[in-house]
Amino acid sequence: MDLTVNALFGTPFAPIADNITAFNPFRNKFQQNIPTMIGINADEPVTFLNMIFESRPINDQYYVTAAGLLFGENLAQELLIWLKKIDCCITNDKTFYPPIGDNRDQLLKIEQDAIFDCGSRRLLEDQSESFMYIFDAVSPTAYKHWSREYEWGNCEKKACHCTDTGYFFGKVTFDTQNQKNAAKEIRSTITNFIKSKDTGLKNSMGGTVQNFIFSEPNSSVQPAKKEICVFWDKVFGLSENCAKGDENSCFADWEKISQAVQYLKSKSQQ
């Protein structure tokens, strides 16, 4: 399948541990109940979304249409609109990711929660000793990230995919002392886990507890709420049943999604 089609719902390449992705941890029995560490960056999907949108705004009509194609009418309604019947009338109730005019950040949240945050928690559900961290630091200017000229999705302003890896190896000059401190913390956290499991992190308790590693003390990053992960676990279950041949569980219209992506690609090349 076209990689940019996959990027609409997540990433071209799923996170993999012992031949198990965060999408299908129960599909085989390779994963052992041994001490496990898993980490995500605070804004993982930014790079992949920019493969399609190139920083352009996403209006409400496009956002709602894309959600309908990806999740089907029923799931999209719960995801975006979540209508509640009160007395005689249908009124808007609280929703997870409501349209907000320019919805680039909403798509970012959807993919961050569905794939990286809630998906990682799912991977750790049966692990008795596990550690999960969320890394929030930006790309140092010396790295000259290809997105640095973008108005939205600039990885010098967001914690994009593989940012923690760059900090771990520290091959470029950091901009601030806080960045140097974050690099030192990520290195000691991972190497201490390998050597002795003495990470300094709280046990994730089956993925329910997240630790934070920041380069800036005023970071506003928060993990997905429990009810959000419950929703994405339901989506995961439907996806698994669809893959097993239960057509009633299928929801994404991949043919129309492919057509939409090709249209977007042709527009960007004009």
Please give the pLDDT value at position 238: 87
**pLDDT per position as a tens digit, 65-109:** 888 888 888 888 888 864 444 444 444 455 788 889 999 999 899
Q: In which residue are the tokens 């003495």 written?
A: 198
The pTM of this model reads 0.82
Average pLDDT, the chain: 80
Please give the pLDDT value at position 268: 60
Strands 36-41 and 130-136: parallel
Q: How far apart are CA 116 and CA 45, in angstroms?
A: 9
> Is the Cα torsion angle 11, 17, 20, 22 positive or negative in sign?
negative
Please give the pLDDT value at position 159: 93
Mean pLDDT by 10 residues, the chain (270 residues): 40 47 49 82 88 82 86 83 45 72 91 89 85 93 89 91 92 93 94 88 88 82 87 86 86 80 68
- Is residue 30 within 8 Å of 19, Cβ to Cβ? yes
